[in-house]
A and B are shown apart, each in its own frame.
Chain A
Amino acid sequence: MTVSIADWFKETANWVFILLAIPTLLGAWRTVTSNNIVRSVLYLVVSLGGAAAMFLSLGAAFVGWTVVLVYIGAVIILFLIGIMITRAPLGMKAELSHASNVRMPAALLSLSMFVLVAWGLIDAFSNTAIEPFEPTPTSDIANLIFSRFVVPFEVVSIVLLAALIGGIALARRDDGGGA
């Protein structure tokens, strides 16, 4: 089944996709091109917000709001504090490296990643018609987590515990005193 460009633009969902993709891409672009690392992190918020909105537009409300809560709410805080711990002594004047010898490999790597993902998706799904779908209610996810996937769910807490103890072990002094 081939779809012409004109047909593609007739679909409202595609317009919503473009509307969400533009700020997501601009945010991602500015994240890597900004000269101020704190601004980079704030542009990353824009990009993640676009990704969350993309999940919402696909009817995956739980995943979308998890991105907002965990990534924008907590991971970004961790990034900012990480910057204030490690980068602050250098101050604002320390320019981020945009040297041309780094640019080329980075561009090459991003391009090959894009080609790989795009090729994989087109190869797997180009002949699959997208059925009209229903949004996934959070209650369905809960029913799965607490019945069929209850063991993975408990394993998640052990993974989180390992991350917590690992982080504390890295951050605290060895002499037994406080942080």
Chain B
Amino acid sequence: MLNQYYGDYITVAVFVAIGAILVGGAVAANRAIAPRAPGGFKDVAYESGIEPIGGGWNQSHIRYYIFALLFLIFDVEAVFIFPWALQLEFFSSIGSGLTVLVEMFVFVGILLLGLVYAIRKGVLTWE
């Protein structure tokens, strides 16, 4: 079982290595054959062909933070849903499927209160 486990990840490692070689090779080939003439307008950030206004470091609005926070919270929720989805069939076969289903609904339901709170406070509206 352990060898099977590591074998699976060796496949992943091989794919990661091939990906790194492809990207590294493309970048290296680009370095080797591209003509270089730095300076002038090439250092200017590309903004759809118009001359850029202001710097690249713009202050983001704080509403992005709330969306990131919501994403984080529901990402953690998803982490718990994966093992649940994996074993629900097994729990159902030993007769406790309904209990486990309700357990997950309680979990999701409590977190949905947070989403309702966010909607009621109006933080999800885009002005």
Check if B70 sits within 8 Å of A164, measured CB to CB. yes
Which chain A residues (132-172) contact chain B, with CB distance < 8 Å?
A: 132-135, 138-139, 141-143, 145-147, 150, 153-154, 156-158, 160-161, 163-165, 167-168, 171-172
**Binary interface profile of A, 104-129, with partner B (CB < 8 Å = 1, else 0)?**
00000000000000000000000000
Q: Which residues of A contact B110 (CB under 8 A)?
A: 154, 157-158, 161
Q: Which residues of B contact A177 (CB under 8 A)?
A: 122
Does A32 lie at the interface of the complex (its beta carbon under 8 Å from any beta carbon of B)? Answer: no
Check if A85 sits within 8 Å of B59, measured CB to CB. yes
Q: Which residues of A contact B122 (CB under 8 A)?
A: 176-179
Q: Which residues of A contact B5 (CB under 8 A)?
A: 59, 61, 135
Check if B127 sits within 8 Å of A178, measured CB to CB. yes
Q: Given the complex of chains A and B, what is the CA–CA distance between A145 and B82 in angstroms?
A: 12
Q: Which residues of B contact A154 (CB under 8 A)?
A: 103, 106-107, 110
Chain B interface secondary structure, helix, strand, loop or mixed?
helix
Q: Given the complex of chains A and B, what is the CA–CA distance between A172 and B123 in angstroms?
A: 7
Chain A interface secondary structure, helix, strand, loop or mixed?
helix
Q: Which residues of B contact A135 (CB under 8 A)?
A: 1-2, 5
Assuming the contacts A132-B2, A178-B125, asked whether A171 and B65 have C-beta atoms less than 8 A apart, the reply is yes
Check if A161 sits within 8 Å of B2, measured CB to CB. no
**Binary interface profile of A, 50-62, with partner B (CB < 8 Å = 1, else 0)?**
0000001101011
Q: Which residues of A contact B114 (CB under 8 A)?
A: 160-161, 164-165
Assuming the contacts A135-B2, A139-B83, A164-B69, asked whether A81 and B75 have C-beta atoms less than 8 A apart, the reply is no
Q: Given the complex of chains A and B, what is the CA–CA distance between A134 and B2 in angstroms?
A: 6
Check if A146 sits within 8 Å of B79, measured CB to CB. no
Q: Which residues of B contact A88 (CB under 8 A)?
A: 57-60
Check if B75 sits within 8 Å of A167, measured CB to CB. no
Nearest-CB residue, chain A, relative to B13: A53
Check if A164 sits within 8 Å of B103, measured CB to CB. no
Does B118 lie at the interface of the complex (its beta carbon under 8 Å from any beta carbon of A)? Answer: yes
Distance of A53 from chain B, by nearest CB (Å) = 9
Hey, which bits of chain B sit against chain A, CB under 8 A? 1-2, 5, 9, 55-66, 68-73, 75-80, 82-84, 86-87, 90-91, 96, 100, 103, 106-108, 110-111, 113-114, 117-118, 121-123, 125, 127
Hey, which bits of chain A sit against chain B, CB under 8 A? 56-57, 59, 61-62, 66, 69-70, 73-75, 77-78, 81-82, 84-85, 88-92, 132-135, 138-139, 141-143, 145-147, 150, 153-154, 156-158, 160-161, 163-165, 167-168, 171-172, 176-179
